[in-house]
C-alpha cells in the first residue's frame, strides 16, 4: 500500500493548511521584526513616538492571522475540529492543498513587502512626524493584496466538496 493510498487526501489537505499557517507566520514574523528594528532605532532617539511606531509594526502581522484563519477553516471543512474527519480522496486532498496556496504564498510575500513599506513609514515618522499617517496608508494599500489572497483561499476552501 502506498503512502497516498494509506494517508490519502487528509495528509495532502493538512499539508496545504499547514503551509498557509506556516508561510504567513514566517512572513509576518520577518516583517514585524524588520519594522521593530527600524522602530527601535527611532525610539532610541524619541521614545514619545512609540505608539505610532507600534502601529506601523503591527500591520505586517495581519498575514499571520489570515494564515491561521485559512488553516482553521480548512481543518473545520475536513472535519478535524468537530470529530467528523472522513477519509478524503487524494483528489479532495489536492483541492484543499491548492485552495490554501493563495493565502500561503500571497500572505508570505505581501507581509514582507508590506514590512518594507512600514519601515519607510518609520523613517517618515522620524523625519516628518505629522505625516506618519501617510506611511500607514501606504502600508494598508499592500494589505489589500493579502485580503484578496485570504478571500480566494477562503472561497475555495469552503467549496472543495
pLDDT tens digits for 59-109? 999 999 999 999 999 999 998 888 777 788 888 999 999 999 999 999 999
**Residue 48 clears pLDDT 70, i.e. is over it:** yes
pLDDT digits (tens, 9 = 90+) for 8-44: 888 999 999 999 999 999 999 999 999 999 999 999 9
- Percent of all residues in the chain with a pLDDT value above 70, rounded to a whole number: 96
pLDDT of residue 81: 84
Q: Are 90 and 7 in contact (CB under 8 A)?
A: no
Task: For residue 159, count other CB atoms closer than 10 A to its CB.
Answer: 10
- Percent of all residues in the chain with a pLDDT value above 90, rounded to a whole number: 82
Query: Residue 2: which pLDDT band, with cuts at 50, 70 and 90?
Result: low
CATH for 3-158 (3.40.50.720, 1.20.120.610, 3.30.2350.10, 3.20.20.80): 1.20.120.610
Closest CA to 64 of 22, 92, 102: 22
Q: Give pTM, 2 decimals.
A: 0.89
Largest CA distance in the chain: 66
Domain residue spans of the chain: 3-158
Closest CA to 121 of 143, 105, 106, 101: 143
Mean pLDDT across 137-161:
94
Mean pLDDT across 145-160:
95
Amino acid at each position: 500500500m502506498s503512502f497516498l493510498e494509506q494517508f490519502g487526501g487528509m495528509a495532502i489537505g493538512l499539508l496545504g493548511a499547514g503551509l498557509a499557517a506556516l508561510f504567513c507566520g514566517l512572513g509576518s514574523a520577518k516583517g514585524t521584526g524588520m519594522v521593530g528594528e527600524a522602530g527601535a532605532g527611532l525610539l532610541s532617539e524619541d521614545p514619545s513616538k512609540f505608539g505610532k511606531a507600534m502601529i506601523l509594526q503591527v500591520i505586517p502581522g495581519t498575514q499571520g492571522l489570515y494564515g491561521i484563519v485559512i488553516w482553521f477553516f480548512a481543518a473545520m471543512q475536513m472535519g478535524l475540529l468537530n470529530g467528523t474527519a472522513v477519509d478524503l480522496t487524494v483528489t479532495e486532498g489536492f483541492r484543499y492543498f491548492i485552495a490554501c496556496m493563495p493565502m500561503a504564498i500571497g500572505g508570505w510575500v505581501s507581509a514582507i513587502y508590506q514590512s518594507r513599506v512600514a519601515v519607510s513609514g518609520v523613517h517618515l515618522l522620524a523625519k516628518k512626524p505629522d505625516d506618519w499617517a501617510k506611511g500607514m496608508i501606504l502600508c494598508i494599500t499592500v494589505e489589500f493584496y493579502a485580503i484578496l489572497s485570504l478571500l480566494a483561499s477562503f472561497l475555495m476552501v469552503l467549496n472543495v466538496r
